Amino acid sequence: MGMVDVTEKPVMRRQAIASGKIVLAPATISEIRAGRIKKGDPLQVAEIAAMNSAKQTHLLIPHCHQITLDTVKVSFSVEKNFIKARCHVRCQARTGVEMEALVGVSLALNTIWDMVKYLEKDENGQYPGTKMTEIQVEMKEKIAGPASVGKERES
Protein backbone atom coordinates (compact mmCIF):
# COMPACT_ATOMS: atom_id res chain seq x y z
CA MET A 1 0.00 0.00 0.00
CA GLY A 2 1.48 3.31 1.06
CA MET A 3 0.94 6.86 0.04
CA VAL A 4 -0.43 7.67 -3.41
CA ASP A 5 2.44 8.62 -5.73
CA VAL A 6 1.75 12.11 -7.10
CA THR A 7 5.17 12.52 -8.76
CA GLU A 8 3.73 12.70 -12.30
CA LYS A 9 0.88 15.07 -11.43
CA PRO A 10 1.44 18.71 -12.41
CA VAL A 11 1.76 21.43 -9.80
CA MET A 12 -1.40 23.53 -9.90
CA ARG A 13 -3.01 26.27 -7.88
CA ARG A 14 -5.51 24.59 -5.61
CA GLN A 15 -7.98 25.82 -3.05
CA ALA A 16 -10.74 24.46 -0.86
CA ILE A 17 -13.28 25.86 1.56
CA ALA A 18 -14.71 23.76 4.38
CA SER A 19 -17.34 24.80 6.87
CA GLY A 20 -19.10 23.52 9.94
CA LYS A 21 -21.23 24.60 12.88
CA ILE A 22 -21.10 24.29 16.62
CA VAL A 23 -24.50 24.46 18.31
CA LEU A 24 -24.37 26.26 21.67
CA ALA A 25 -26.84 27.54 24.23
CA PRO A 26 -28.03 31.09 23.52
CA ALA A 27 -26.63 32.10 26.95
CA THR A 28 -23.18 30.87 25.87
CA ILE A 29 -23.43 32.86 22.64
CA SER A 30 -24.31 35.94 24.75
CA GLU A 31 -21.20 35.42 26.90
CA ILE A 32 -19.04 35.10 23.79
CA ARG A 33 -20.50 38.30 22.32
CA ALA A 34 -19.94 40.11 25.63
CA GLY A 35 -16.31 39.01 25.82
CA ARG A 36 -16.78 37.18 29.13
CA ILE A 37 -15.28 33.76 28.35
CA LYS A 38 -12.77 32.79 31.06
CA LYS A 39 -10.11 31.51 28.65
CA GLY A 40 -10.32 34.55 26.34
CA ASP A 41 -11.86 35.16 22.93
CA PRO A 42 -12.87 31.75 21.52
CA LEU A 43 -13.00 33.00 17.94
CA GLN A 44 -9.53 34.46 18.04
CA VAL A 45 -8.06 31.30 19.56
CA ALA A 46 -10.08 29.09 17.16
CA GLU A 47 -8.66 31.01 14.19
CA ILE A 48 -5.11 30.27 15.34
CA ALA A 49 -6.01 26.62 16.02
CA ALA A 50 -7.47 26.28 12.51
CA MET A 51 -4.38 27.77 10.87
CA ASN A 52 -1.98 25.61 12.90
CA SER A 53 -3.92 22.40 12.37
CA ALA A 54 -4.36 22.95 8.61
CA LYS A 55 -0.57 23.26 8.33
CA GLN A 56 -0.13 20.00 10.30
CA THR A 57 -2.72 17.87 8.48
CA HIS A 58 -0.08 15.51 7.08
CA LEU A 59 0.92 14.64 10.66
CA LEU A 60 -2.68 13.89 11.67
CA ILE A 61 -3.98 11.94 8.66
CA PRO A 62 -1.54 9.19 7.65
CA HIS A 63 -2.06 9.20 3.87
CA CYS A 64 -2.08 12.98 3.39
CA HIS A 65 0.85 14.51 1.57
CA GLN A 66 2.83 17.29 3.18
CA ILE A 67 1.75 20.45 1.37
CA THR A 68 3.18 23.94 1.72
CA LEU A 69 0.15 26.17 2.18
CA ASP A 70 0.07 29.64 0.65
CA THR A 71 -2.76 30.86 2.86
CA VAL A 72 -5.27 29.76 5.47
CA LYS A 73 -8.18 32.12 6.08
CA VAL A 74 -10.72 31.48 8.81
CA SER A 75 -14.02 33.27 9.32
CA PHE A 76 -16.91 32.95 11.74
CA SER A 77 -20.59 33.82 11.73
CA VAL A 78 -22.11 34.06 15.22
CA GLU A 79 -25.85 33.36 15.26
CA LYS A 80 -28.45 32.98 18.04
CA ASN A 81 -27.62 29.37 18.94
CA PHE A 82 -24.65 28.38 16.78
CA ILE A 83 -21.38 29.56 15.33
CA LYS A 84 -20.51 28.72 11.73
CA ALA A 85 -16.81 28.45 10.92
CA ARG A 86 -15.28 28.52 7.43
CA CYS A 87 -11.71 27.61 6.55
CA HIS A 88 -10.32 28.63 3.14
CA VAL A 89 -6.98 27.09 2.16
CA ARG A 90 -4.83 27.74 -0.92
CA CYS A 91 -1.61 26.19 -2.22
CA GLN A 92 0.40 25.35 -5.30
CA ALA A 93 0.82 21.58 -5.22
CA ARG A 94 0.32 18.23 -6.95
CA THR A 95 -2.59 17.28 -4.71
CA GLY A 96 -5.57 19.06 -3.20
CA VAL A 97 -6.15 20.89 0.05
CA GLU A 98 -9.65 19.80 1.04
CA MET A 99 -8.35 17.71 3.95
CA GLU A 100 -6.41 20.72 5.24
CA ALA A 101 -9.57 22.84 5.08
CA LEU A 102 -11.60 20.11 6.85
CA VAL A 103 -9.00 19.68 9.59
CA GLY A 104 -8.82 23.45 10.02
CA VAL A 105 -12.56 23.92 10.42
CA SER A 106 -12.86 20.87 12.70
CA LEU A 107 -10.16 22.16 15.06
CA ALA A 108 -11.72 25.62 15.07
CA LEU A 109 -14.99 24.08 16.29
CA ASN A 110 -13.20 21.85 18.82
CA THR A 111 -11.36 24.89 20.18
CA ILE A 112 -14.58 26.84 20.63
CA TRP A 113 -16.10 23.87 22.47
CA ASP A 114 -13.07 23.61 24.74
CA MET A 115 -13.22 27.28 25.65
CA VAL A 116 -16.95 27.36 26.48
CA LYS A 117 -17.52 23.85 27.84
CA TYR A 118 -17.87 25.11 31.42
CA LEU A 119 -20.96 27.04 30.28
CA GLU A 120 -22.41 24.17 28.24
CA LYS A 121 -22.30 21.40 30.88
CA ASP A 122 -25.51 20.39 32.63
CA GLU A 123 -25.74 19.43 36.31
CA ASN A 124 -24.41 15.94 35.47
CA GLY A 125 -21.39 17.25 33.59
CA GLN A 126 -22.88 16.31 30.22
CA TYR A 127 -23.39 18.34 27.04
CA PRO A 128 -27.03 17.69 26.09
CA GLY A 129 -27.36 20.45 23.50
CA THR A 130 -23.80 21.08 22.36
CA LYS A 131 -22.82 19.52 19.06
CA MET A 132 -20.65 20.02 16.03
CA THR A 133 -22.54 19.52 12.80
CA GLU A 134 -22.62 20.08 9.05
CA ILE A 135 -18.85 19.77 8.56
CA GLN A 136 -18.40 19.73 4.80
CA VAL A 137 -16.32 20.78 1.83
CA GLU A 138 -18.14 23.75 0.29
CA MET A 139 -15.74 24.17 -2.60
CA LYS A 140 -12.68 22.50 -4.10
CA GLU A 141 -10.89 23.92 -7.11
CA LYS A 142 -7.73 23.46 -9.12
CA ILE A 143 -6.48 25.92 -11.69
CA ALA A 144 -3.93 25.01 -14.36
CA GLY A 145 -1.28 27.26 -15.82
CA PRO A 146 0.42 30.50 -14.80
CA ALA A 147 -2.15 32.63 -16.69
CA SER A 148 -4.74 31.75 -14.04
CA VAL A 149 -2.66 32.89 -11.09
CA GLY A 150 -4.62 35.43 -9.06
CA LYS A 151 -7.90 34.77 -10.89
CA GLU A 152 -9.38 32.22 -8.51
CA ARG A 153 -12.57 32.95 -6.61
CA GLU A 154 -12.35 34.76 -3.29
CA SER A 155 -14.43 33.59 -0.38
Query: Which one, of 109, 87, 88, lies nearest residue 22 by Cα?
Result: 109
CA distance 116 to 25: 10
CA distance 20 to 65: 23
Is 41 a residue of the active site? Answer: no
Angle at 61 between CA 60 and CA 63, to 5 degrees: 140
| Active-site choice (5, 41, 70, 114) | 114
Beta bridge partners of 19: 86, 136
Angle at 133 between CA 106 and CA 152, to 5 degrees: 60
DSSP E strand stretches across 25-145:
69-78, 82-93, 131-143
Q: Which residues are catalytic?
A: 114
